[in-house]
Amino acid sequence: MDEILAHLAHIAPYAVGLSLPVFLLGGWLLHALRHRSLTTSMTVLILIPLVATFAGAVGISGFMFTPTLTITLLVCLLVAAVTVPVAILFGRGIAKRTVWEREARARERAAEASRRELVAWISHDLRTPLAGIRAMAEALSDGVVAAPAEVRDYGCRIGTEAVRLNAMVEDLFELSKITAGALKLTMAPLALREVIEEAVSASRPAAEHKGVRLVAEPGASPVVDGSAPELSRVLRNLLANAIRHTPPSGAVVVRAGQDEREAWLSVDDACGGIPDAELPRVFEVAFRGTTARTPEHGHQPAGAGLGLAIARGLVEAHKGRITARNHGPGCRFELRLPLAR
């Protein structure tokens, strides 16, 4: 036992003296590589103890390549041959998981911010018609309004606000189904001409009331695999948005066509354009942009900012895509859908 302790006391300074610098150099190298990939850092971390072990063995042997040192070197090489590839695989796996977790947290933060923004917008939009309904109902119940004509006017205004509130609730319900993945579509071959005729017919009274020309150019009328109610709602939302932001005497034009693989449908308005920085956000929930667009006319309500978000969700549910860009005197909203097989 005393001989073993004496032997250890003799070789320990050599082992520590050569392995310690390797650890220090490895620590400095890890610090220098802290901004590099996680795979590189893990590989270096695996190699440090192996190199330090070999350096200590060299010191113990007195820098003489004895059979023991040769065996130690071979063992270190075999261990490195196994551990380095494993370290690379683990490093890549951990790096991917870290990136995925970071992206997931970013998506959660964005979703939470979007929810807060949506709640703020909806609270504001609901409060306005509710306050009007409450005030008119109190006036009617208190007898402040006595003339039959005024009573009828108050009744009509209450009915209008109730319709507006009902539309907001329907939009929220539709958006909740889209975001929850609970939207169920009944797909069938559908001619876009039929969708255009239905949506234009439903939107024409609003356009005429505002003095906006609504023009339909269905073109070749391509056939797509789609659900008629949902695609009709997409187009009605796009038309409502275009009419809302087009000044009187302006025009909203609907066109359709197809290329080799896709059908396309576009809505052109005369809104005055959208700032380039805001174009990527027009389909976000509750996004309304700045006042750079043409102001609304006729005291038309601005809506809850859900129409374009719903349109995007419904188009994506059809395996299509929808885009917006400045075009001519206004904007062009274009959706593309796969052609029917």
The share of the chain scoring above pLDDT 90, in percent, equals 19
| Lowest pLDDT segment from 92-106, 211-225, 262-276 | 92-106
45 and 159 share one domain: no
Q: In terms of residue numbers, what domain contains 266? A: 188-338
Write the CB contacts of 307 (distance below 8 Å, at least 6 apart in sequence).
Answer: 171, 237, 238, 240, 241
317 and 197 share one domain: yes
208 and 297 share one domain: yes
263 and 330 share one domain: yes
Sheet holding 321-327, edge to edge: 213-217, 251-258, 262-268, 330-338, 321-327
> Is 328 within a domain?
yes
pLDDT at 33: 73
Q: Which of 180, 202, 234 is the last residue of a domain?
A: 180
pLDDT score of 129 more than 90: no
Name the average pLDDT for the chain: 78
33 and 155 share one domain: no
* Three-state SS sequence of 193-261: HHHHHHHHHHHHHHHHHHCCEEEEECCCCCEEEECHHHHHHHHHHHHHHHHHHCCCCCEEEEEEEECCC
CATH code (residue 317)? 3.30.565.10
CA-to-CA distance for 185 and 21, rounded, in angstroms?
A: 68
- DSSP letter string over 84-136? HHHHHHHHHHHHHHHHHHHHHHHHHHHHHHHHHHHHHHHHHHHHHHHHHHHHH
pLDDT score of 254 more than 80: yes
Confidence of residue 281 (pLDDT cuts 50, 70, 90): confident
Write the CB contacts of 53 (distance below 8 Å, at least 6 apart in sequence).
Answer: 19, 72, 76
pLDDT score of 198 more than 60: yes
pLDDT score of 153 more than 70: yes
pLDDT at 295: 45
Confidence of residue 42 (pLDDT cuts 50, 70, 90): confident
Residue indicated by tokens 């576009």: 266
300 and 316 share one domain: yes
Pull the structure tokens for residue 243: 């009419």
pLDDT score of 47 more than 50: yes
239 and 319 share one domain: yes
Task: Specify whether the CB–CB gap between 282 and 326 falls below 8 A.
Answer: no
315 and 276 share one domain: yes
Q: pTM score, two decimals?
A: 0.60
